[in-house]
Amino acid sequence: MKNLINLSLLLLLIFSTQFSASAQKTMSDGTITYDMKLEKDNPMAGMLNGTNMVLSFKGSLMKTSVNVMGGMMSMNIVMDNNAKKGVMLVSAPMMGKNMAVEMTEKDFTDAQQKQKENQSRSKVSYNKKNQKKIAGYKCYQATAKIDGMPDGIILYLTDKIKPMGQSQIQNQIPGLTGFPLAFEINQAGMKILFEASKVDKLAPSDKEFDMSIPEGFDKVTMEEIQGMGGLGFGM
């Protein structure tokens, strides 16, 4: 179960967003659905079948949802950079736990400071000749080494999707261009590929970004959530 928490927090790290105020000419509002793929000979392939991630963004709002093993565990994070607040919900029925973390302005400030520190330790290289079409978008390959991911990460990027800001990984890697529609990571000895299966250009409803904490969820700290997965990085 700790590996599942590790994986979900890692995905939220990659796609949680810090927003800027500039508008973009390309797609800036919408919803992207990513499906997880494992190598066929991976013993976890059958168990993790049905795991997906949905990224929704609208103006200064961002929501990242990870659904593991058809609902065995789910994690959702909603952030509003203009208001400098957010909420993270973790539901793990098998553990009998429903947890909520409220993010404050201090959390945003601390995260931005950590991003600046990470930038000096990050490297990225591009291979624009290595291209593939994903969910109707032409993408090119990038390979990145970032703090907290010793094996690095392989991404396929498009220049046609630009939320009002950059993904967390773009903030941690100086000069990273494009938006990731696929990425490959090594986590707990597993090679994991997430690839977009659907891109919806319609702006999500404001209801998607509700930050209220549902009944039955216990308020905890981010450190407590990370401790369950043995993680050393912050949001």
Average pLDDT over residues 114-133: 79
Within-domain flag for 222: yes
Q: Would residue 22 count as lying in a domain? A: yes
| Between 28 and 133, residue with greater pLDDT | 133
Look-up of token digits 């050393």:
232
CATH number of the domain encompassing residue 166? 2.50.20.10
pLDDT tens track for 169-193: 555 565 677 888 998 887 767 788 8
In a domain, 135, yes or no: yes
- pLDDT tens-place string over residues 1-42: 445 555 555 555 555 554 443 333 467 789 999 998 877 666
**Tens digit of each residue's pLDDT (9 = 90 or more) over 189-234:** 778 888 999 999 999 999 999 999 999 999 998 778 767 653 333 3
Task: Give the total number of structural domains in the chain.
Answer: 1
Position 205 in a domain: yes
State yes or no: pLDDT of 44 exceeds 50: yes
Task: Answer yes or no: is 234 within a domain.
Answer: no
Domain extent for 133: 2-229
Which residue in this structure is represented by tokens 């977009």? 196
pTM of the predicted model, to two decimals? 0.80
81 in a domain, yes or no? yes
**CB of 163 within 8 A of CB of 178?**
no
Asked if residue 58 belongs to a domain, the reply is yes
12 domain residue, yes or no: yes
Segment 52-69 mean pLDDT: 87
Task: Quickly list DSSP for the chain.
Answer: -HHHHHHHHHHHHHH-EEE-S---SSB-SEEEEEEEEE-TT-TTTTTTTT-EEEEEEETTEEEEEEEEGGGTEEEEEEEETTTTEEEEEEEEGGGTEEEEEEE-HHHHHHHHHHHHHHHTT-EEEEEEEEEEEETTEEEEEEEEEETTEEEEEEEEEESSB--SEEEHHHHHSTT--SEEEEEEEEETTEEEEEEEEEEE-SPPPGGGG--PPPTTPEE--HHHHHHHHT-----
